[in-house]
Amino acid sequence: MWKPCVLLVEDNADLRQLYTFFLAGRGFEVRLAEDGEEALAEIQKQRPDVLLTDIAMPQMDGVELIQRLRSDEEFASLPVVAMTAYGEGRLTEAWAAGADETIAKPMEANDLLTALFKVMPKQQGN
């Protein structure tokens, strides 16, 4: 049975663990990266079905990550959900960079699922 693969990009270890537990419990395969640079390397290894990225991170933030993906023909269509606790301004930056959906932290669990299902490709092979 197909399990949708989410690449979770989050620099906060506690939130990575929380989101991983939540998403895995709802049938997602979850891969992890701590910042945008690590995320790009993971995406090159295996393309996820959707990218769930924090915006404010060290090294390469989520906005730059989205911009880099959108400028790469191979990954320009990868569905992206961007999240931040730093307000509407940062969410607007993510939209401008090419995010498919944005969500403010802290978030309700159902809001996270809604955002992911909204941008994900439909179930494959079933």
Query: What is the pLDDT at residue 2?
Result: 78
With a CB cutoff of 8 Å and minimum separation 6, the contacts of 90 are 55, 56, 63, 84
Residues of the chain where predicted confidence (pLDDT) is lower than 50: 124-126
Q: How far apart are CA 61 and CA 75, in angstroms?
A: 17
Query: What is the pLDDT at residue 26?
Result: 94
Query: What is the pLDDT at residue 122?
Result: 66
Q: How far apart are CA 54 and CA 34, in angstroms?
A: 9
Following CA atoms 23, 111, 74, 48 in sequence, which dihedral angle do they give, to the nearest 10 degrees?
10
Q: Name all domains of the chain by residue range, CATH numbers in brackets.
A: 5-119 (3.40.50.2300)
Helix (H) or strand (E) holding 94: helix 88-97
Query: What is the pLDDT at residue 121?
Result: 76
Query: What is the pLDDT at residue 123?
Result: 54
Token duo for residue 49:
């079905």
Query: What is the pLDDT at residue 59?
Result: 87
Token duo for residue 109:
């669990």
